[in-house]
Structure 1
Amino acid sequence: MLMAISGLALAACAAPDDTRPDAQTEAQKAADSVEAPALGDLSWTKGAMVAAANPAAVEAGLEVMRNGGNAIDAAIAVHAVLGLVEPESSGLGGGAFMVYYDRAKDEITVFDGREVAPAAATPDYFVKDGKVMGFIEAWQSGHSVGVPGQVALYKTAHDAAGTGDWAANFAPAIRLAENGFKVGEKLHEALASERLRAVINLDDNPVTSAYFYPDGEPLPVGYVRTNPDYAATLKAIAAEGPSAFYKGEIAESIVAATNAAPDGGMMTLEDLSNYTVKVRPALCGTLPTGYRICSAPPPSSGGIAQNEIMGLYDAMKPADNVRVTEDYFLKIFVDAQRLAYADRDYYVADADKVTVPSDDLINPVYIRERAKQAFAPDGHATPGDPGVILGRSPMIGMWGQDQTEHAPGTTHVSIIDTDGNAVSMTATVESAFGSSRMTHGFLLNNQLTDFSRAPTAGGLPVANAPGSGKRPRSSMSPTLVFDEAGDLFMVTGSPGGNSIIAYVAKTLVGVLETGLTAQEAINLPNIIARGDTVAVEIDREGGPEAAEALRTMGYSVEERTGEISGLHVIVVRDDGLEGGADPRREGVAKALE
C-alpha cells in the first residue's frame, strides 16, 4: 500500500511539467491501474487517538496509522520508541500484555507476552546458601532475568490482525535512535537519583555506564542521545522478524549478559528459541450498570482485580433512597480494594501451571457475599473463599500467603484506530532499568522478581513461586470497557507496580461511576489500599482531605508524594474521542488529524 500511494503522488507531480503529447495519458493510465487504498469501516466516525508516555512515541503511532496501519501497528511503533526514550520503564528486553479489540469481528484477544522463567528454574530459584535472597540482591542478579516476550508479542499480534507493513512499524524508532532523541526529565531524574544509584549497578557496569553516564554524570535534560546499537537491533527485527532476536548473535548476547556475575542466571539459547506468546481470551465481567470490563487473565491481575473491585464497589453502594456523605464512597472504594487485593495476592499466578479460580472470583454471587466481609478499618486483610461461598470444596489452604512486591518500571499505551479497533497494552522491564544488564542497545528485565522469592509460606507452597517455564504474576491491568449496547467505551491502563490495580480502578470509578472526563479521573489523587495500610497521594488536589477523612474513619494511612502512575485513557463520547494523559509523567493523548 505504501508503494502504491507513493507512485500516485509521483505521477501527479510529474504530469504538469511533462509536455510530451502522451504524457498525461500515460500518467492517467498508471493512476487508474493502482488499487485505491481501502477506506476502512465507514460506520466508525469517532476518529483515532494515541495516548502514551512520550510525545515522540505518540507521533510514531499516528504516523503509522496515517500510512495504513491499525491499532496493533501503532502499538508496535509507539512501544519501539518508548523502549528508546524511556528505557527505565520498558523495552525489547521486557514483556507485555496486549488486549486487542477487533471491531469488525466484535472480538477481544489477549496477547500474553509475559517473560518466562528458564527451563532450569525450580521453586527455590531465589534461595541462595539456604536463605531467600533479598530483593535488591535478586533484582540485580542474573536470576532476575526472564526470557523476554516483547518482540514475539509484536509479531504474534501483527500476524493476527495488523494491517500495516511490518518493517515500517519500526521506522520512527530507527530514525530516532540514529539521529538522537532529547533526554527528558523523567529519564534524567531516574539516572540522577542517589537513592536508586546506591542500589543498582547501572553506573558500575561498563556498558550501561558509558551509555547513561557519559563523563561520569547522568544524561542531562535536553542531551541528544543516539543509540546505533538499538537502531541495528530494530533493523534486524524489521528485516528478519523475531528470529533475529531469539536466535543468533542477539540471543547469544542475551544469554551471556543474563548468566554473567553477579549471581548469573540459568538461561539457555533453547529457552529463548522456545519462547511463545500465549493467545488468550479476555477475562470479562458485566456490572449491574451494564458496563462490561475486559482485561487480561492470569498471570495478569487485570481481569480478576478490576472486575472484583468494581463489582464490590457496586455491591457496597447505598440504595437510592439512602443518603450518605461523599466520604462513604471513598470508604467503599478503599474497602473494595482491600478485599480484591487480598484475593489477588492469594490466588493469582500462572494459570497454565497452577489452579487459579478466575471465574469464581468475579462471579456475582461470590462478589455479593465477599462485599459483606469488608474489613474493619483497623482489621487485617485476608483472602476470601469462593469455594465455600459457591457451595464447593474450600479453597483456603491450597497456598501459602504471598506478599510479593511488584516494582514500578512499566509503561502503558492506549490506542483507538480509524476503524474503531482498540489496543490497551501495558509493557515492562519490571523495576527501574530492569536488571541493569544491557546488550545490543536495550536493557534486560528483572521480571522474575515478580515471583515469590520464598517458595513456601506457613508450610504451604506459594502459588506464585518460581518454576520451569513459568510466568510470574503481574499487576498489569490493560483494560477495555464496553457500554450497555456492547460498543467500545473506554481504554485504560497504567504502570506502577502493585499499585497499578488501584490506579486503573480509580479511572473506572471516576469515569463510570462519577461521570468524570478521562483527564479529570486521571488527575484524582491516587489511593492504594493493599493490605492493612491505605496509601494516599497528598501532593494532588483532594489528597490531604482524603487522607484526613480516612484517618478519621480509623484507617491506617500512609501519606505519599511523587506517585508513579502513568495512566493513559481514551473515552468514546458521542461527539468523538476524549483522551487523557497522566501529568505525573511526560505523556500526551493526541488525535489523528
Structure 2
Amino acid sequence: MTRARPVRTRWWTLLVALGLTAATLVAAPDAEARTRPVRQPVAVGSGGAVATVDPEASAIGLDVLARGGNAVDAAVASAAALGVTEPYSAGIGGGGFFVFYEAATGEVHTLDGRETAPAAMRVDSFAPGGSALPFAEAVTSGLSVGVPGTPATWEEALERWGTITMNRALAGSIQLARRGFEVDETFRSQTESNADRFADFPATRELFLPDGEAPAVGTRFRNPDLADTYRLIAREGADAITTGPVAEDIVETVQQPPVDPAADRVVRPGLMTTADLAAYEVVEREPTVSDYRGLEVYGMGPPSSGGTTVGEALNVLERFDLSAMDRTQALHHYLEASAIAFADRNRYVGDPASVDVPVEELLSDGFAAERACLVEPDAVLPRPVAPGSPDGSYTGCPDGGIPGGESPEGPSTTHLTTADRWGNVVSYTLTIESTGGSGIVVPGRGFLLNNELTDFSFTDTQGGDDPNLPGPGKRPRSSMSPTIVLRDGEPWLALGSPGGATIITTVLQTLVNRVDLGQDLPTALAAPRASQRNGTTQAEPGFETAELQALGHTFTPTAELGAAAAVELLGDGRFQAVAEPTRRGGGSARVVEED
C-alpha cells in the first residue's frame, strides 16, 4: 500500500531571516546580457541536461545547472519559468507530481503536490439535485478550483534535495516576467481559443487580451503582477500564497468570481476558504515500480493513475515479444494493453486517503498474466473492456465487472525533465488542468486559477463504487505520469508529457518505441502517436491505421497527442536531452556542454 507523510521543513526561511538571500549567495543572471534562447529538439553533451516545451524555461534551468545547481534546483527554476511562458498550462495556481532520483542514495522519491478539494466539497457538489453540471460550466467557475500545491512542491523539493534558496530559484523567472518573452503561435492560438471566456473576467482580459484581442506573434508579453507575486514567494516561501493578502485574494476570487457584470456567462462560486489554503500539505508517497524487460520503471502513485496504468500496461506487454512482431502486431498489442489498463484505472484508482487503491495487486505479475490472456493477435477486445479483479487470486480470464466510464480530463499541463553531473534526475509534471485553467486570473496577482476539481467524477460512473467522486479535502485522480527508468540500478531514461488522460499513452508508447521497437530516443518521442483509453482510439496524422483497422480497431483523427520532454543518460557522463520537434510548436532540449 502507499505510504504517505506530510513534508514540513523550513530551513531556507532561516537563511532569509539571516540576510543570506539568493542575491548574496549566488548572483542572479543578467537578463539583458543573456543570449536569446534556442528552440531545438535534441542536445547531446555533458554537465547536465534540461528538456521542456519552452526555450526560455530550458535556458533558465540550464543557467542554474551551469552555475553549480543540481537537477532539483534546475527543475524548480524551469517550472517557475513555465509559469510565465506557459500560463495556460501550469503555474502557481495549480499543482503537480515531482519524481526524483537521488544519486547519493540510489532511491527514487516522489512528492504529491496535487490540488485538494475544499473542506466544504461534497459528493454531489458537481451534481446538484442529482444532475451533473454541464462540463464547460463547471470548468469556468470558482467551484472547479482546487487548493493549489505548486509553490509548496517547489519549496519542499528545494528544502529536501536542492542546493539553492527559493529566492535564487525564482530569480530568472522574476526577470523573465518583467522583461517579457516573445509571443509564438502556440501562445497566440491558445489565447485566441480562450478569448470568449477570458473576455468575461476583467482581470483575465486585461492581462491576456490587450486591446481586446490575443497578442500578435512576435510581440513581447510581460506580466509584472506575476513578477511581484514571485518576489513574495521568493521571500516568504509557499506561505506567501497560503496565508496573508495573496491567500485572501485567492479566496475572494474563488468565492466571488470577478465576472464582468455585462457578461451573460453563468459562473458558479467556489467553496475554498483561507483555512483550506493554510491547511495544504505536500505529501511524500511511495513511487510505483514495475520491472519491464530488465528495467525498473518508476512512476507516481495515487492519486495519480499514471504510475499504476503505465506499469500495468507494461506488465501486460511483457508477456509478449514485441520486438519479434511486425509493426501492426506490436501496435495492436500496445493498444489492447492500454485499453485493459485504463479499464482497471477507472475502476480502482482514486485518492488513497479516501479509497483503498490496490496498488500492489494492480502492478502484480499475477494480475498482469490474467489480464494479458484477454489479448488476441487477430481481434480487438470489445470496448469498453470491463475491469479485472486485482484480488490476489489469479487463475485465468474471468469475466470482468461493470464497464467503466471516464471523467473528462483537460488536454493541457506541461512537463520538464532535468539531470545533473552528479547523476540526480527529476521528472516533473505540473498543471492547471484545462488549457487556461478556470479562466479566472486572481486580480493584481498575475496568475490563473486551476480547474482541477473537474477531474473528479461528477456522478458515479462505476455502478455504485466510483473511487473518484468528490469529497472534503480529497485529491482528484490524475493522469500525470512523470517517469524515471533505471537500468542495472542506475538512471537511464526520464520522461513525461502533458495531455490529460493521453499523458499515460504518450509515456507508454514512447517507452515501447524505445525499448521494444529499437528506436533511438529522438525517433521514439517524435513518432506519430495513437491513444487508446478503453474506447475509440485517437490517432495523429502519420500514424498508419489501415492494417490495424483490418483487425477491428477504430480511429478518430486528432491534430496532436502530448508534448513530451525526456533525458537519456548515455552512461559516460553524457546526456541526450530530447523535446518535441513540432508538437506544441516544438520544445527545447539543452545540455550544459554540447558535444
TM-score, length-scaled by structure 1 = 0.87
How far 1:184 moved relative to its partner?
A: 1.8
Counterpart secondary structure, 1:143: coil
After superposition, what is the alpha-carbon deviation per residue over 1:102-153, rounded to whole angstroms, capped at 9, x for unaligned?
Answer: 0111111101000000001111110134421011011011110000000000
Instruction: Tell me the equivalent position of 2:493.
Output: 490
After superposition, what is the alpha-carbon deviation per residue over 1:361-382, rounded to whole angstroms, capped at 9, x for unaligned?
Answer: 1101110111002374261211
Distance 2:393 2:185 in 1: 50
Distance 2:53 2:492 in 1: 21
Equivalent pair of 2:93/2:432 in contact (CA under 8 Å): yes
How far 1:511 moved relative to its partner?
A: 1.3
Moved more, 373-382 or 180-189: 373-382
The one-letter code sitting in structure 1 at the alignment partner of 2:320 is: M
Please state if 1:530 is matched with 2:529. no
Instruction: Tell me the equivalent position of 1:167.
Output: 167
Please state if 1:87 is matched with 2:87. yes
The one-letter code sitting in structure 2 at the alignment partner of 1:566 is: A
> Residues 243 and 5 of structure 1: is their aligned pair in 2 closer, same or farther, counting only changes over 3 Å?
closer
After superposition, what is the alpha-carbon deviation per residue over 1:560-584, rounded to whole angstroms, capped at 9, x for unaligned?
Answer: 2x21411001111245211211120
Of the three residues 576, 579, 584, the one matched with 2:577 is 579
Instruction: Tell me the equivalent position of 2:510.
Output: 507
Please state if 1:466 is matched with 2:470. yes
Counterpart secondary structure, 2:391: helix
Distance 2:343 2:524 in 1: 25
How far 1:285 moved relative to its partner?
A: 1.2
Instruction: Tell me the equivalent position of 2:178.
Output: 178
Equivalent pair of 1:299/1:349 in contact (CA under 8 Å): yes
Aligned residue pair count? 537
Counterpart secondary structure, 1:525: coil
How far 1:521 moved relative to its partner?
A: 0.7
The one-letter code sitting in structure 2 at the alignment partner of 1:421 is: N
Counterpart secondary structure, 2:560: coil
After superposition, residues 21-32 of structure 1 pair within 5 angstroms as: none
> Residues 324 and 92 of structure 1: is their aligned pair in 2 closer, same or farther, counting only changes over 3 Å?
closer
Instruction: Tell me the equivalent position of 1:409.
Output: 412
How far 1:492 moved relative to its partner?
A: 0.4
How far 1:165 moved relative to its partner?
A: 2.8
Distance 1:324 1:4 in 2: 56
Counterpart secondary structure, 2:318: helix
Distance 2:399 2:128 in 1: 31
Identity of aligned residues (%): 37
> Residues 515 and 368 of structure 1: is their aligned pair in 2 closer, same or farther, counting only changes over 3 Å?
same
After superposition, what is the alpha-carbon deviation per residue over 1:539-569, rounded to whole angstroms, capped at 9, x for unaligned?
Answer: x3xx1xx211211111122222x21411001
Counterpart secondary structure, 1:110: strand
Distance 2:76 2:287 in 1: 20
Counterpart secondary structure, 2:253: helix
Of the three residues 545, 549, 552, the one matched with 1:551 is 549
Question: Which one has more relative contact order, counting CA pairs under 8 Å at least 6 apart?
Answer: 2
The one-letter code sitting in structure 1 at the alignment partner of 2:241 is: F
Distance 1:536 1:503 in 2: 11
Please state if 1:426 is matched with 2:429. yes
Equivalent pair of 1:413/1:568 in contact (CA under 8 Å): yes
- Which of 1 and 2 has greater Rg? 1
Equivalent pair of 1:496/1:564 in contact (CA under 8 Å): yes
Equivalent pair of 1:177/1:226 in contact (CA under 8 Å): yes
How far 1:494 moved relative to its partner?
A: 0.2
Distance 1:390 1:236 in 2: 55
> Residues 63 and 553 of structure 1: is their aligned pair in 2 closer, same or farther, counting only changes over 3 Å?
same
Please state if 1:281 is matched with 2:280. no
Counterpart secondary structure, 2:47: coil
Counterpart secondary structure, 1:101: strand
Equivalent pair of 2:49/2:418 in contact (CA under 8 Å): yes
Instruction: Tell me the equivalent position of 1:365.
Output: 366
Distance 2:103 2:23 in 1: 24
The one-letter code sitting in structure 1 at the alignment partner of 2:557 is: E
Instruction: Tell me the equivalent position of 1:296.
Output: 300
Instruction: Tell me the equivalent position of 2:248.
Output: 252
Distance 1:532 1:114 in 2: 27
Of the three residues 226, 230, 233, the one matched with 1:230 is 226
Equivalent pair of 2:413/2:433 in contact (CA under 8 Å): yes
After superposition, what is the alpha-carbon deviation per residue over 1:134-192, rounded to whole angstroms, capped at 9, x for unaligned?
Answer: 11011011110000000000111111111123211001110011112111211101112
> Residues 378 and 108 of structure 1: is their aligned pair in 2 closer, same or farther, counting only changes over 3 Å?
closer
Distance 1:378 1:402 in 2: 16
> Residues 402 and 471 of structure 1: is their aligned pair in 2 closer, same or farther, counting only changes over 3 Å?
farther
Instruction: Tell me the equivalent position of 1:10.
Output: none
Moved more, 330-339 or 470-479: 330-339
After superposition, residues 180-195 of structure 1 pair within 5 angstroms as: 180-193=180-193
Equivalent pair of 2:99/2:110 in contact (CA under 8 Å): yes
Instruction: Tell me the equivalent position of 1:266.
Output: 271
How far 1:389 moved relative to its partner?
A: 3.6
Instruction: Tell me the equivalent position of 2:52.
Output: 52
> Residues 497 and 5 of structure 1: is their aligned pair in 2 closer, same or farther, counting only changes over 3 Å?
closer
Distance 1:119 1:434 in 2: 21
Counterpart secondary structure, 1:116: coil
The one-letter code sitting in structure 1 at the alignment partner of 2:205 is: S
Distance 1:458 1:498 in 2: 18
The one-letter code sitting in structure 1 at the alignment partner of 2:92 is: L
How far 1:224 moved relative to its partner?
A: 1.1
Instruction: Tell me the equivalent position of 1:21.
Output: none
Instruction: Tell me the equivalent position of 1:101.
Output: 101
Of the three residues 548, 551, 560, the one matched with 1:563 is 560
Distance 1:172 1:510 in 2: 36
Instruction: Tell me the equivalent position of 2:215.
Output: 219
> Residues 161 and 5 of structure 1: is their aligned pair in 2 closer, same or farther, counting only changes over 3 Å?
closer
Equivalent pair of 1:317/1:332 in contact (CA under 8 Å): no
> Residues 458 and 246 of structure 1: is their aligned pair in 2 closer, same or farther, counting only changes over 3 Å?
closer
Distance 1:458 1:363 in 2: 23
> Residues 5 and 588 of structure 1: is their aligned pair in 2 closer, same or farther, counting only changes over 3 Å?
closer
Equivalent pair of 2:153/2:282 in contact (CA under 8 Å): yes
The one-letter code sitting in structure 1 at the alignment partner of 2:415 is: H
Moved more, 462-471 or 580-589: 580-589
Equivalent pair of 1:89/1:431 in contact (CA under 8 Å): yes
Gaps of 5+ in 2: 1-21, 28-44, 258-266
How far 1:458 moved relative to its partner?
A: 6.1
Distance 2:523 2:314 in 1: 19
Please state if 1:241 is matched with 2:237. yes
Distance 1:208 1:457 in 2: 34
Equivalent pair of 2:23/2:168 in contact (CA under 8 Å): no
Distance 1:190 1:100 in 2: 31
After superposition, what is the alpha-carbon deviation per residue over 1:376-421, rounded to whole angstroms, capped at 9, x for unaligned?
Answer: 4261211111116448xx9977x99341121112000000012110
After superposition, residues 127-138 of structure 1 pair within 5 angstroms as: 127-138=127-138
